[in-house]
Structure formats: C-alpha cells, structure tokens
Amino acid sequence: MKDQSPPAESKTETKSESETDSTQRRDEGAPLGILSWRPGRLVIAVIAAVAVVAAVSTALVFGGDSGTATVAKSSKPPTVEKLASALKCKADIQKKVEDYRLGVCTAKKTKYTFVTFKDNRAKRGWLDFSKDYGGTYLVGSRWIVVTDAPSKLGPIQGKWGGTVERGKNHGQGHGRN
C-alpha cells in the first residue's frame, strides 16, 4: 500500500516551480525600488506636465505687466473713486445701496456714471435694465462706466480693462430738452 501514495518529490517539485514563477515575475517587472513606467503612470505624468505648462502660461499672460489692462490683477473690483481717477475727475457719490454704489463726474464736458456692484449677478441685472435708456457701457468685473460714446472710455479701459456694450438707440435728441 505504500506504493499507492504519491511520491514526496512531486510536492517538492511543485513548490519549487511556484518559487520559480514568482522569481520570474519579479524579474520581468521593474527591479525592486525603481518605479516602472506603465501606461497609466505615463498618462498621469503627461497630464501633470500639461497642467504645469498651462499654469505657467496663464501666470505669464495674465499676471505679468504687459501694459494692457484687459484682465484685473485682483478679484476686488476698483472703487467708484478709482474708476473716476482714470479720467482725472472726482466722483460725486449719488447712491449707496446694498447691491451697488453709484457716482458721477464730468470730465472735458462729458458726463460719466460709475457703478460698482457686490457681485456680477447684480451688475448684469442693473445693466440689462439700464440699456433700455441708451448710452455706451464699459463693463468690467463687478463695475460699469456709462457715457455717451465709446471713444470717451479709452483712459478707463486702458487702466481697468472691460468690454464696451451699447444701449438701445432711440434716435437723436431722445430725452433731451
């Protein structure tokens, strides 16, 4: 009956084959202590490199002083007084309410209205309502300057940026006596 039991050598051979397999698998991969570059890791490295390049490019384009003021350098909008100072006039504050602050001044026979807002939603609501009355609007982040012609907004736009929008045209002489 001893002849029917499996030989002890086969268990040893099986064990030694599994040891050989694990050794072979370890040898096929990267050596211990060194990261292997698998496709997943390569994709992550590429994405990280692209993110760094994008961040640096953004900082150079928007953070550097290139002489243009198309982008505000801080998240805080200019005050009514700072907007007026670009025209070398002193704003007379006409209205202070929860959502906005409004001031006016006259420079070189042109009347300007300056409005700063607590948020862009309040700005957009005020602008949508005001455009029905005509005028030219220089619109920035949380601020607006209103006057009669876009050519008169150059000094403010040069310093603070913004985009020009026009109100409705009601014809010549509308609202004037």
Nearest to 110 by CA among 164, 70, 79, 150: 150
- Cα–Cα dist 120/9, whole Å: 82
What domains lie within the chain, and their CATH numbers? 2-63 (no CATH), 80-166 (3.30.200)
165 contacts 137 by C-beta, under 8 angstroms? yes
Q: Give, rounded to a whole angstrom, the gap between the first and last alpha carbons of the chain.
A: 127
- Is the model's pLDDT at 114 over the cut of 60? yes
pLDDT for 176: 40
pLDDT for 31: 52
Nearest to 154 by CA among 86, 85, 80: 86
111 contacts 98 by C-beta, under 8 angstroms? no
What predicted TM-score, i.e. pTM, was given to this entire model? 0.55
* pLDDT tens sequence across 13-57: 444 454 545 444 444 554 555 555 456 666 666 666 656 555 544
